[in-house]
């Protein structure tokens, strides 16, 4: 399954995604109403005819009514409002692969010089651009006078998703987009955004944060909370430039495998060769646990994972008392979900972490459509994947061991999911 490129994190992190930019063709949003109406007509005509199952989660009647309503309002909307309305229209299909990102290259949208992340104990500022150091590590209480819960509820109709874990993954990026905040009434202008935070002492502070152009994000030298706090780098965060790697942890009798992208990486051994090397290094009998970490894997090509899955199955069968663990999280999606479900069928793994944002049975194999006048890009699904018959229409993959993470875990370098795998008792 090919994943939507809009959400593939470069080297598995949002900060690198912000720096990577996009090689998209130019997008033009300064258009007359007639041109936007032509784009809307093209979207309304082409998307349902190309999508493999467009009206599975919303009725065609409801969707067509939304199209007609937007058509009537376009002459009275600003360009940024039209872009966000088109985002909402596409998201209404209820498919995590089918999306039109409002902050895609060329729209002229801005960004706050802050990176937000939702933890079990609240939303924090995990990274800042230079000049915003005072906000690093702060708990976000309100934006534009509205609570985080209210904000996530307000952006939910804009976020294309399989399930609500996508809100935890993508929601913070939408909340860092001033044009989106203006659309939901949390900002008056895309230039400045009112922000209320609290520090470690619990006292609240009000700030006005100036936005920055997205075109300059690649030049920002982000200051990260863990680094500033002097926390240890957890095992999962080592080798961020590699899509797959492993490390033997002799003291715990386990082999840790990080799998960040379901595709061969240029300049590295193929996944097939990687699996062969791994089978030799993990063979000794003293290794009784195999930990496959797919928490930062947003997909790729689902055919590429087979050698790694086959290795895990053979490794387990060689000594039945051995245990296979799969670590999953809010980023686990698309082809990564396919790999998880293959392992679930064949290797009897223990699933640990957060629920993935990918639905077990869903649609995928993304193709791209460009709107004729604006050039806005939208991705859509072309194939149905029924991968887990026992889960039928379930929106979430069930976990064996939930392992939520807090801000303190993050800055200190603790990894509750890996700790849970280490502590998990022997089979039988």
Domain coverage including residue 164: 5-221
Mean pLDDT throughout 247-270? 97
End-of-domain residue from the set 221, 250, 272: 221
154 Cβ contact list (under 8 Å, min separation 6): 146, 184, 185, 186
296 and 318, same domain (yes or no) = yes
342 and 200, same domain (yes or no) = no
- Write the DSSP symbol of residue 239: S
Mean pLDDT throughout 342-367? 97
pLDDT given at position 2: 47
104 and 32, same domain (yes or no) = yes
121 and 195, same domain (yes or no) = yes
pLDDT given at position 28: 82
Mean pLDDT throughout 373-378? 97
107 and 131, same domain (yes or no) = yes
pLDDT given at position 425: 87
Q: Is residue 369 part of a domain?
A: no
112 and 247, same domain (yes or no) = no
Mean pLDDT throughout 50-77? 98
What CATH code is carried by the domain that includes residue 282? 3.90.226.10
Q: Any idea which residue has 């905040």 for tokens?
A: 181
End-of-domain residue from the set 175, 199, 221: 221
pLDDT given at position 405: 97
74 and 186, same domain (yes or no) = yes
Confidence category of residue 10, pLDDT binned at 50, 70, 90? very low
Residue 94 pLDDT greater than 90, yes or no: yes
Q: Is residue 427 part of a domain?
A: no
Chain segment 132-180, per-residue pLDDT in tens? 999 999 999 999 999 999 999 999 999 999 999 999 999 999 999 999 9
Q: Is residue 379 part of a domain?
A: no
Phi, psi of 47 (to 5 degrees): -60, -50
141 and 260, same domain (yes or no) = no
pLDDT given at position 15: 54
Kindly report each contact of residues 422-428 with a partner whose C-beta sits within 8 Å and lies 24 or more positions away, as own/partner.
422/252, 422/254, 422/289, 424/289, 424/323, 424/325, 424/350, 424/352, 426/288, 426/321, 426/323, 427/320, 427/321, 427/322, 427/323, 428/321
212 and 99, same domain (yes or no) = yes
Q: What's the rounded Cα separation, in Å, for the pair 47 and 62?
A: 15
Q: What's the rounded Cα separation, in Å, for the pair 408 and 349?
A: 28
Mean pLDDT throughout 320-348? 97
206 and 279, same domain (yes or no) = no
Nearest of 140, 192, 196 to residue 171 by alpha carbon? 140
Chain segment 19-60, per-residue pLDDT in tens? 444 344 568 888 999 999 999 999 999 999 999 999 999 999
246 and 215, same domain (yes or no) = no
Q: What's the rounded Cα separation, in Å, for the pair 252 and 421?
A: 10
Residue 66 pLDDT greater than 50, yes or no: yes
Q: What's the rounded Cα separation, in Å, for the pair 212 and 272?
A: 43
Q: What percent of the chain has pLDDT over 70?
A: 93
Q: What's the rounded Cα separation, in Å, for the pair 146 and 142?
A: 5
254 and 307, same domain (yes or no) = yes
Q: Is residue 371 part of a domain?
A: no
pLDDT given at position 20: 43
Residue 306 pLDDT greater than 60, yes or no: yes
Q: Is residue 386 part of a domain?
A: no
Confidence category of residue 215, pLDDT binned at 50, 70, 90? confident
Mean pLDDT throughout 90-119? 96
Q: Please provide the average confidence, as pLDDT, over all residues in the chain.
A: 93
Tally the domains of the chain: 2
Phi, psi of 109 (to 5 degrees): -70, 155
Q: Is residue 204 part of a domain?
A: yes
Q: Is residue 11 part of a domain?
A: yes
What CATH code is carried by the domain that includes residue 64? 2.30.42.10
End-of-domain residue from the set 186, 221, 256: 221
pLDDT given at position 25: 57
Count the helix, strand and coil residues of the chain and give each as a percent rounded to the nearest 5. 40, 20, 40
Q: Is residue 334 part of a domain?
A: yes
Q: What's the rounded Cα separation, in Å, for the pair 301 and 364?
A: 11
Residue 427 pLDDT greater than 70, yes or no: no
- Write down the pTM of the prediction: 0.92
């Amino acid at each position: 399954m090919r994943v939507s490129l809009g959400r593939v994190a470069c080297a598995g992190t949002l900060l690198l995604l912000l720096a990577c930019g996009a090689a998209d063709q130019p997008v033009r949003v300064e258009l007359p109403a007639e041109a936007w109406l032509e784009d809307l007509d093209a979207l309304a005509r082409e998307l349902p005819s190309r999508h493999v199952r467009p009206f599975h989660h919303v009725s065609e009647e409801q969707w067509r009514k939304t199209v007609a309503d937007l058509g009537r309002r376009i002459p009275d909307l600003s360009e940024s409002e039209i872009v966000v309305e088109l985002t909402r229209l596409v998201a209404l299909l209820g498919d995590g692969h089918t999306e039109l990102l409002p902050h895609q290259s060329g729209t002229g949208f801005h960004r706050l010089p802050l990176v937000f992340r939702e933890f079990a104990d609240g939303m924090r500022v995990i990274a800042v651009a230079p000049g915003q150091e005072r906000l690093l590590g702060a708990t976000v209480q309100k934006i534009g006078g509205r609570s985080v819960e209210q904000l996530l509820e307000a952006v939910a109709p804009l976020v294309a998703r399989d399930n609500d874990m996508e809100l935890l993954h993508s929601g913070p990026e939408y909340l860092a987009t001033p044009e989106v905040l203006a659309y939901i009434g949390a900002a008056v202008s895309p230039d400045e955004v009112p922000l209320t935070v609290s520090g470690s002492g619990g006292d609240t502070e009000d700030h006005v944060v100036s936005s920055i152009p997205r075109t300059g994000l690649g030049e920002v030298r982000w200051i990260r909370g863990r680094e500033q706090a002097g926390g240890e780098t957890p095992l999962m965060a080592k080798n961020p430039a590699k899509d797959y790697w492993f490390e033997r942890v002799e003291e715990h009798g386990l082999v840790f495998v990080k799998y960040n992208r379901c595709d061969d990486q240029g300049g590295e051994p193929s996944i097939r060769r990687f699996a062969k090397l791994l089978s030799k290094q993990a063979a000794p009998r003293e290794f009784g646990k195999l930990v496959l970490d797919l928490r930062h894997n947003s997909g790729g090509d689902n055919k590429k994972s087979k050698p790694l899955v086959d290795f895990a199955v053979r490794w387990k069968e060689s000594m039945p008392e051995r245990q296979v663990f799969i670590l999953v999280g809010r980023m686990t999606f698309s082809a990564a979900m396919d790999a998880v479900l293959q392992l679930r069928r064949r290797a009897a793994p223990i699933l640990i972490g957060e629920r993935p944002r990918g639905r077990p049975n869903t649609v995928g194999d993304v193709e791209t459509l460009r709107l004729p006048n604006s050039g806005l890009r939208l991705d859509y699904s072309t194939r149905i994947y029924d991968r887990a018959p026992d889960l039928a229409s379930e929106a979430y993959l069930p976990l064996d061991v939930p392992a939520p993470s807090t801000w303190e875990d993050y800055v200190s370098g603790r990894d509750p999911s890996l700790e849970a795998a280490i502590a998990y008792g022997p089979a039988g």
